Each structure stands twice: as structure tokens, then as C-alpha cells.
Structure 1
Amino acid sequence: MDLNFTPEELAFRDEVRAFLRESLPLDISDAVRRGGELGADILSRFHALLNGRGWLGYVWPRDHGGTGWNAIQRHIFEEEMAAADCPRILPFGVNMLGPVLIKFGSEAQKSHYLPRILDGTDWWCQGYSEPGAGSDLASLRTRAVRDGDDWVLNGQKTWTTLGQYANRIFVLARTRADGKPQEGISFFLVDLDNPGIEMRPIRLLEGGHEVNEVFFTDARIPADALVGEENQGWTIAKYLLTHERTNIAGVGRSYRALAQLKDLARQTMRDGRPLIDDPLFAARLAEVEIDLEAMNILNLRMLDQAQKRGQPGAETSMLKIKGSVIRQEISDLARRVLGPAAAPFPGSAPDNLALLPEDAVNNAADYFNMRKMSIYGGSNEIQRNILTKAVLRL
């Protein structure tokens, strides 16, 4: 979407475009463009590329090693990365834990962990969901019990994305059994090399390994692994989730997927004419494009409000809902354009599908994987409840 950028903002956009054009390795952009899983090597190299330019901590203030960019600059940066077929910046360290440590962490935690997020020393994963405690996260049962100078963890986490590459995990654990469930949870930083921690892969439908389950059996972690105060974890968890839900919107990547979907629809012939000229298809395409334009404006408003308040608010649930619905609709339209060609799994897609972006469906595995967007980060049903209570006050 073209906005009325100031000359300074246009110059910044040109700077970002030039850097990505000159510095992004071709094998990385090709891997993103063809879809499928991106391994640790590609993701780590891309993080290192941005960190070398000083841009990895693009949502952090400058005095903590970030860029100090305003809302418009972050918007431009994300949009240009999507347009250049860059991998997504892994959110767990940069966009989720980093802001938590900056707001709630001790000075020792900030000085130790923030630089390690940026330089790639630590790869973080998220220990929130459990069997029976997904959207109802407050019902989690993983426990942390204080024992001298340590905490002892017992329990299980699931759907731990890319945990197979991580060396650290931030964990929500119950530290008090009485009272409201939300009031007895604490937030911990855990080294995955500790004895008593086991990670097992969860194989997806197409055989991919994106998520995991993690088991804690009398795993001992030091007392200073606690972030904030004991039993303050629910407040920290909600703060982190507002950042996660803002990131899920993926406006730039939806624009990229939509543009390439249009190109594919122009090339695809049905009944002797391009599919994009079919009235029913064109109507669905127009609807999703209108929704995306509206979400883009909403996203900018949310970023501006977050900058003024110092953190995103409950309104980010709207971005999570709309962002996931739009991206699922784009993937469904892409599947309809491709027809039988949508069936192959990664590694077997025909060459003529190489133009499709990461977030458009170019195979059955991607299409099915996209269905989870309305669930992770808090299901869309839960987001509507949050909006009803926290925004509408009903």
C-alpha cells in the first residue's frame, strides 16, 4: 500500500531496499520464495545479516541495542523485507522475550541476555501451551517449587515451535496453588541443556518437524531465572502476547502473497479467459484486498498507539483475528487457482510454482499449516472475548 510518506521516510525506504537488494543472499530469498521449512542455517545467517547492519532489534529502543525506529519505520522495514522475500525474523527472542526483559527484567538479565539475542548466542523458544492448557493458558499445570537457591520444574509444554534449534526456553510455571489461577504463575528463563529436560518432535501431517513437546522432570534452575516478581507471570505473559499478536498480523507478507496470487491468476486460464477475470473469483479477491487495506491502516494505528503508551494494548487482538483470517483466505484462493497443482508436498512442487511466496500456498502442506493461524497466539474465539471485556467493557 502506498502511503503519503515524508521525504525522510521515503529515504529510509530506499535505504532498506538498497541494503536488501545488495546484501540478501540469493539462496535465502530463493528458499523463502519456494516455501517449505527454513532450517537453522538460513534463519541464523539472516539474523546475523540484520544484526551486522544494526537492524535486528528493530522493535527495541536504542539504549538497549535496538534501532529506536518509530512506527512508520518499522512498518516500512517489515513491508520491504516481505517484498524482498526475506525470512521472517524469529519472534521468540527479538519480538517477544526482548520487550519482556526490557520492561520486567533485572539489570543483570538485560545486560546478559539482550546482547545474546542479537548476536545469535541464544536461540529462544516459547514454553506456554500445555496439553489441556492452550487457549485456556491460566489452567497450566507445570510447577516450579523453590528449593534453596534453585527452582525445581516439573511438567510438560507442547507446540514448542523450532525448539529443536533452541538452547533456551522461557517458561510459564505455577508457583502457587491457591487463589485465582492467574495469580499463581511465574515467568522463568531456562537453559535447555539442564538435566531433567527432554524435547521430543511432533511430526506434522506432511512429515515436517516444526513443533515439539518439552518435558521437565525435576529440572533445577537457579533462583535468578525468575523474571519480575514471583506470581507476576500472568501480567508478563499478557504483555508478551500483545507483542506476539501484533507480529502475527503479517501485513507486508500478506501484501506480497496477494500480489503474487494476482499474477498467478492472470496466467491461469479457465474457460478460455484468465481466472482473474472470473466474476466470482474477482469478487473474493476484491474482498480480501479491501480487508487487507483496512488492516494495514489499523496496524499503523496500533503501532502508533503502542509507541505512545510504551506497549501494545488489548486492541492488538483485532490484528491477530483479521491477520489470520486474511492470510487463510489468500491461501485458499491460491489453492483454488492452482487446482490439482496445489497437491504436492515440499520438495515435489512443479517448477512453475516457484513464483509463489512463502505465505501463499504452493503445496498441500503449506495450506494445511496455514489453518493453525487462527489458533496459535490465542485462538480467534479467545481474542473476541478479550475485545469484548477489555475494549468494549461488556
Structure 2
Amino acid sequence: MDLSYSEAERAFQDEVRAFLKDSLPKDLSDKVRANIELGREDMVRWHAILNARGWLASTWPKDHGGTGWTPVERHIFEEECALAFAPRIVPFGVHMLGPVLLKFGSEAQKASFLPRILDGTDWWCQGYSEPGAGSDLASLKTAAVRDGADYVVNGQKTWTTLGQHANKIFCLVRTSKDGKPQEGISFLLIDLDTPGIEMRPIKLIEGGHEVNEVFFTDVRVPASNLVGAENQGWTIAKYLLTHERTNIAGVGFSAAAFEQLKIIARKITRGGRPLAETPLFAARMAQTEIDLEAMKITNLRMLSEAQKNGAPGLESSMLKIKGTVIRQTLNDLTRRALGPAAAPFPSEDLDGNAALVPGDFANEAAEYFNNRKISIFGGSNEIQRNILSKAMLGL
């Protein structure tokens, strides 16, 4: 993509490429390229490498350990990391809780928690969804009742991503039943080592363990762990979700996936010629590329507005919708291109295309199934369309 970068921006792009060439461990990039699940130590190691360079918290101001990058610099960094098959930054601490603490946290909370996010002392997970409160988040029932200097928490959270690696969780809890459901929600930071917390794994369709359910039984949490004011949680939740939805869009990862698709389509043959030259598949690739280029521009516009206003706006919903649709389209096109080679355990007889597996595009089936979720979490795409429609119609 040619964004007519300035001389300084091209120099920054060269700096990022050189850093990735020198500092990205090959074993990590090989795992990402092959869609192999990363372990906790893999992700912690990459975070530490980025933090040592001062490049972990791209959305934070410099005075809190962030990069202070411009929107274009952040776009360059994310795209180059994706193209180099670098592990994705785990978003819960860096891209979600960090901005919330910077906006709503007390000075004591910032001083305590922000450095621990950067140096890897704390791994945060997100306690939003419940069995009866997913996209309808305001229906959450997990209760936090004030008892002296503590809140006592009872309830359940589900779809807690990477919670098995975490030592802390930020939760939306109900602190009041008065008024509208949104008016009785608070934002609470909880240590997962606290007595009364149980985490159970949820096995995914492809066999992976990425999400969990968490149970709270009479869990005592210091009231000092309340972020913002009591019953202000809905405002904080919406602020956090704009950052989450922007991250879910995964613009850089779609760009990398499209580059991989082009490689496959040139290698795979149908009827004696490369798949990329067959009219129907070529047309599908062209439409996806057009959509991807438009999304990149939208992403830059959104980042620019976020830098001015401190948080993404409604554009984050639009970006989340389009970004997830494009990523799922790319998964589908890749699966169609690979044919039998996309199966979890492909046959050795692959119609002359055996050279592509298992090394080049192993686990494509797992990637396809896993990414079915991205149009659902962070607020389903149907909900995002409702948000945009209401804003446009002034409802």
C-alpha cells in the first residue's frame, strides 16, 4: 500500500523492518506463520523484547512508558509486524486496561498497575461477558456488594480469553439495581489469586484452549481497586470497547493474510494454470484487495481522530465490522485455494500441490474455525450495525 509516506515515515518504516529482522526470534515467527498456538512464554518473551525497545505500548503517552507515535507510525509498525509474522501483542493489559487507567484511573492506580503491565509482572484478562450477558452486556448479573473497605463479588464470567495465563482480571460488576441496567455497573480490578475464584477451561471446536469461564464466590476485593466512580462502569466499558474493537479489526494481520493468499494462489494450479489466473478466484481476490485498501485508509483516519480526541469514535464499530468480514473472507479464500490441503490432517495425495503442506500453511483449518468468532466477540457485528444506525439516524 502506497500512502505517500514522508521521508521521516519511510525512515521509521526502515527502522521497524531492521528491528524485526534483528530482534524477532525465528521460532516465534515460524509458529505464527504456521498458525501454531503460542504458549504463555512465547507471548511474554515477545512483549519483553518490545518493551526493552520501548515499543510495547503504542497507544500510551511517553510519560507513562508509551511510544508517543503518530497514527501513521503506529500503522506502519502494526503492518510491518504482521508482515514479518510477529506475535500479536496480547491486548488486555496494553491496549485495553492501559488506556482505561490513563483516562479514568487514580494516580495511585496508574503508578501501581501501568509499570507492571509493561514489564510483564501482571497478565490481565477481561471479565465482561456472562452466560446471559454477551452482546447485551447491560444484562450482567455478577454482583459486587460494598462491605466496609471491600467489595464482595459473586457471579460468573465466560469466554475469558487467555485467562489460564492471567494473574489479574478487570471486571464489570453490578453495584446497584436502581434505574436503568447501565446505571448500576462498576469497573473493578481483581487479583485472581483471591480466595473464592475458580477458572474452568472451555475447549474450542478445533481442540484449542483459548477461553475460560470464571466463577466468583464471596470474593473480597479492596474498594481501592474500583476504577472511576461507583456505577460509572458503563461509561468506562464503552470507552474500553472502542479500543477493543479497533484491535479486533486486525488491519495489519489482514494485510499479511492477503500476501499469503497471493503466494498460495500463484502456487496452486487448477486446470493447468495458477489459481490466481482463473477468472472467478481472481475476481474474488481483487474485491478483497479493494476492501482491504479502503479499510487501511479508514484505520488511519480513525487513529488520527483517536489521537486528537483520546479514544476511537464510532469509526471503531465500522472498522470492527469490515475488518472481521475481510479476515473471514481471507480465511475462506485460503481454505478454498488449498482444497484438501486445508484439512486438519491432509492426505499425501494432493493433486500435485503437496509441496504446500504441512510446513507452509499447516493448521489452516484451525485458523479458519477460530476466526469464526471475531465477528461475534467485542460486540457482535449485528450490534455494531445497530450502533452505527442509531448514531446516523439520531435515535
**TM bucket normalised to smaller:** over 0.9
Match of 1:378 in 2: 379
The match for 1:108 is 108
1:171-192 Cα deviation digits (max 9, x unpaired): 0000001110000000000000
Secondary structure (helix, strand or coil) at the match of 2:394 reads: coil
Q: Counterparts of 1:282 and 1:192 in 2: how far apart (Å)?
A: 50
Partner in structure 1 of residue 31 of structure 2: 31
Distance 2:382 2:9 in 1: 37
Alignment-mate amino acid for residue 41 of structure 1? E
- After superposition, the Cα gap between the structure-2 partners of 1:391 and 1:109, relative to the gap in structure 1 and judged at 3 Å, is farther
For the 8 Å contact 2:55–2:66, the answer to whether it is kept is: yes
Counterpart for residue 219 of structure 1: 219
Aligned residues of 1:183 and 1:231 also touching (Cα < 8 A): yes
Matched residue, 1:12: 12
Alignment map for 1:86-235 (pairs within 5 Å): 86-235=86-235
Which letter maps to 1:92? F
In structure 1, the partner of 2:326 is 326
Q: For each residue in 1:223-267, what CA deviation from the matched residue of structure 2 results, as whole angstroms up to 9, or x when unmatched?
A: 101000000000000000000111111111111110110111111
Measured against aligned partners, the alpha-carbon deviations of 1:84-119 in whole angstroms (never above 9, x if no partner) come to 110000000000000000000000000000000000
Q: Distance in 1 between matches of 2:345 and 2:58?
A: 34
- Aligned position for 1:368: 369
% identical equivalent positions: 72
Structure 1 residues 392 and 316 mapped into 2: Cα distance closer, same or farther (>3 Å)? farther
Deviation at 1:355, TM superposition (A): 3.2
Aligned counterparts of 1:392 and 1:55: Cα–Cα separation in 2: 40
Q: Deviations over 1:15-46 (max 9, x none)?
A: 11111100111111111111131110100000
Deviation at 1:206, TM superposition (A): 2.1
* Residue 357 of structure 2 corresponds to residue 352 of structure 1: yes
Aligned letter for 1:291?
Answer: D
Q: CA deviation at 1:3?
A: 1.1
Quick check: 1:36–1:366 contact (8 Å CA) kept in 2?
no
Letter of the structure 2 residue corresponding to residue 39 of structure 1? G
Cα offset, 1:362, TM superposition: 4.1
Distance 2:355 2:267 in 1: 15
- Describe the shift of the 1:76–1:234 C-alpha distance in structure 2 as closer, same or farther (beyond 3 A): same
Paired residue type of 2:48: A
Cα offset, 1:351, TM superposition = 6.3
Q: How many Å separate the matches in 1 of 2:181 and 2:116?
A: 33
Letter in 2 for 1:371: R
The answer (yes or no) to whether the contact 1:335–1:362 under 8 Å persists in 2 is no
Q: Are the aligned partners of 1:345 and 1:365 in contact in 2 as well (CA < 8 Å)?
A: no
Amino acid across the alignment from 2:375: S
SS at match of 1:210: strand
- On the 8 A contact 2:57/2:66 being kept in 1, the answer is yes
What is the SS of the residue equivalent to 1:109?
helix
Contact in 1 for aligned 2:201/2:211 (Cα 8 Å): yes
Normalising by the residue count of structure 2, what TM-score does the alignment of the two structures yield? Answer: 0.96
For 1:295 and 1:393, the matched residues in 2 are separated by 25
Q: Measure the CA separation in 1 of the matches of 2:376 and 2:285.
A: 24
- Cα distance change of structure 1 residues 46 and 60 upon mapping to structure 2, 3 Å threshold: same
Deviation at 1:350, TM superposition (A): 8.1
- Separation (CA, whole Å) in 1 of partners of 2:365 and 2:15: 37
Following the alignment from structure 1 to structure 2, what is the Cα–Cα distance between the partners of residues 43 and 364? 22
Q: Which runs of 5+ in 1 are unaligned?
A: none
Pairs aligned (count): 389
Contact in 2 for aligned 1:206/1:345 (Cα 8 Å): no
Amino acid at match of 1:118: L
Q: Which moved more, 1:42-51 or 1:63-72?
A: 63-72
Give the secondary structure class of the aligned counterpart of 1:214: strand
Once the two structures are superposed, what CA deviation does each residue of 1:45-96 show, in whole Å capped at 9, x if it has no partner?
0000000001101110111110111101100010110011100000000000
Amino acid at match of 1:173: V
Q: Is 1:389 aligned to residue 383 of structure 2?
A: no
Correspondence for 1:48: 48
Paired with 1:385 and 1:219, the residues of 2 have a C-alpha distance of: 36
- CA pair 392-294 structure 1, distance change in 2 beyond 3 A: farther
**TM-score normalised per structure 1:** 0.96
Matched, 1:315 2:315: yes
- Quote how far apart the aligned CAs of 1:354 are: 3.2
> Deviations for 1:122-168, whole angstroms, at most 9, x for unmatched residues?
00000000001000000000000000110000000000000000000
Let me know the Cα RMSD of the aligned residues: 1.5
Query: Is the 2:302–2:312 Cα contact (8 Å) retained in structure 1?
Result: yes
- Specify whether residues 27 and 140 from structure 1 end up closer, same or farther in structure 2 by C-alpha distance, changes over 3 A only: same
The residue matched to 2:357 in structure 1 has which SS? helix
2:365 is aligned with what amino acid? Answer: A
Partner of 1:85: 85
Q: In the alignment, residue 110 of structure 2 is paired with which amino acid? A: K
Instruction: Report the AA paired with residue 354 of structure 1.
Output: G
2:36/2:363 contact within 8 Å kept? no
The 3 A distance-change label for structure 1 pair 307 and 383 is same
Per the alignment, residue 351 of structure 2 pairs with none
Using the alignment, how far apart are the partners of 1:159 and 1:365 within structure 2?
Answer: 18
> How far off its partner does 1:365 sit?
1.9
**Is contact 2:158-2:213 (8 Å) kept?**
yes
CA distance in structure 1 between the partners assigned to 2:196 and 2:138 by the alignment: 24
